[in-house]
Amino acid sequence: MSETVDLLVEVAALRAELAGDDPPALLDVRWRLTGPPGRDDYRAGHLPGAVFVDLDAELCGTPGPRGRHPLPDPGDLQRVLRAAGVRAGRPVVVYDGGDGMAAARAWWTLRWAGHDAVRVLHGGFPAWVAADGPVRTDVPTPSAGDVTVRPGALPVLDATAAAGLAGSGTLLDVRVAPRYRGESEPVDPVAGHIPGAVNLPAGGYVGPDGRFPAADALRSRFAGAGVTDGVPVGAYCGSGVTAAQAVLALHLAGRPDAALYVGSWSEWVADPSRPVATGA
């Protein structure tokens, strides 16, 4: 299969798989940065057989000095995934409310945990509904999974490594330009960016509907931000959610080595000794 096929699944293909003898596990990870939780959306209607998994409470650790969405404890994550019916070797499809960010962070988390067979529903729940896909309100009880979490399957940056990458490679800051320049900061206590980071807001590589352009277009857009072959690349945002989508886009563009600074800006500014750059 191509890398794109391995990472994304379209509605029509997913419907065919769900009608087969061995359908993938479905995880509904609808989420909003400022709330309310996506569980109410799930209860109002979801893909048949989908299990809701809370991005904040179940796919991430406790907010604190490591950021607002730090890595989860491996044991806790394993319990969550097994309760959701994730089995070793069984494909998983994740979807969100359409912007693709929460689904990308769920995709990244499962891949980091060592589960390779995970894809994002391209366009999320809105694409499913637009194609007249069936919607259910019942809450399924999946058979217990047996997945074993083996963390470290995808590259991760801590603050020291992020600072080093900004000098030796390309560190992408995918927040909107005013936050990068330090002109506004609606979430974190300090405005600005990691010195040496390059700004490429998410709108440069993904549409508002969570759909990605073709691989060639992605490569061109990343190249415009300084992403070149043979040069290490990583991404950060406010708390590691939007940046996970950037890492997914980089995979689609042929850079499976792309690293995620999970703590992102919310971890960086938790230590006042770390330098902060402003301006373009």
Cα 153 from Cα 116, distance rounded (Å): 9
Sign (positive or negative) of CA dihedral 265, 268, 271, 272: negative
Reported in sequence order, the residue ranges of the chain that DSSP labels E, i.e. its strands, are: 8-9, 25-28, 51-52, 92-95, 118-121, 156-157, 170-173, 198-199, 233-236, 259-261
Angstrom distances, CA of residue 193 to CA of 41, 45, 70, 181: 34, 39, 19, 7
- Tokens describing residue 45: 């209607």
Angstrom distances, CA of residue 234 to CA of 158, 173, 202, 257: 11, 9, 14, 9
The answer to whether 237 is a known catalytic residue is yes
Asked if the peptide bond before residue 140 counts as cis, ω within 30 degrees of 0, the response is no
Number of C-beta neighbours around residue 105 at 10 A: 29
Residue appearing with tokens 């072959």: 229
Determine which one of 104, 157, 191, 237 is catalytic. 237
The C-alpha angle with vertex 153 and arms to 17 and 163, in degrees rounded to 5, equals 125
Angstrom distances, CA of residue 187 to CA of 190, 192, 214, 253, 266: 9, 12, 32, 30, 9
Residues involved in catalysis = 237
